[in-house]
Amino acid sequence: MNRRGKPGAALARQLALLVLDVDGVLTDGSLYYGARGEQLKVFNVQDGHGIKLLQAAGITVAIISGRKSAAVTRRCRELGIRQVLQGISDKSAALDTLLAKLQLTTAQLAVVGDDTPDIPMLARAAFAVSVADGHPLARAAAHRCTTRGGGRGAVREVCDWILAARSPA
């Protein structure tokens, strides 16, 4: 895989974990608050289907997010995402804990992020991706950038790249 390329078949076959940020990756980054202060988020159905396809292929999907949200907890439950770390200030340390728990290495890791708090994870991933509308520093830290924005099918795009690369030619 070159710096801006899709993952090659060998890399795609060794990937065992996809770690996603939430705000700006699974959502468009907007924060919605209801009249009673409840936090609302909008998720993309295509992203959800891509996650399900990746899980069916044997890849674990995990969340590491700086914010806590009941909406994220619910969406992850719907998608069968069991590794959900929210309210995380040090994403690199959380990634260490997750990798140890799952007995995986960074050589088996793909990460999708959108902003500077995600850069430590992007820097460690075998396949690092920024969404199209990610911060310029996150895009520069990534091996590849999606054509779609966060919350608008970017995660599905990443899932499709990995699945296509794992398929026999």
Residue type, 80: G
Amino acid 6: pLDDT: 62
Q: Calculate mean pLDDT across residues 13-36.
A: 94
Given pLDDT bands bounded at 50, 70 and 90, which one contains residue 3? very low
Reduced to 3 states (helix: H, G, I; strand: E, B; else coil), residue 28 is: coil
Burial letters 31-48, b for 16+ CB under 10 A, else e: eeeeeeeeeebebbebbb
**9-166 fold:** Rossmann fold (3.40.50)
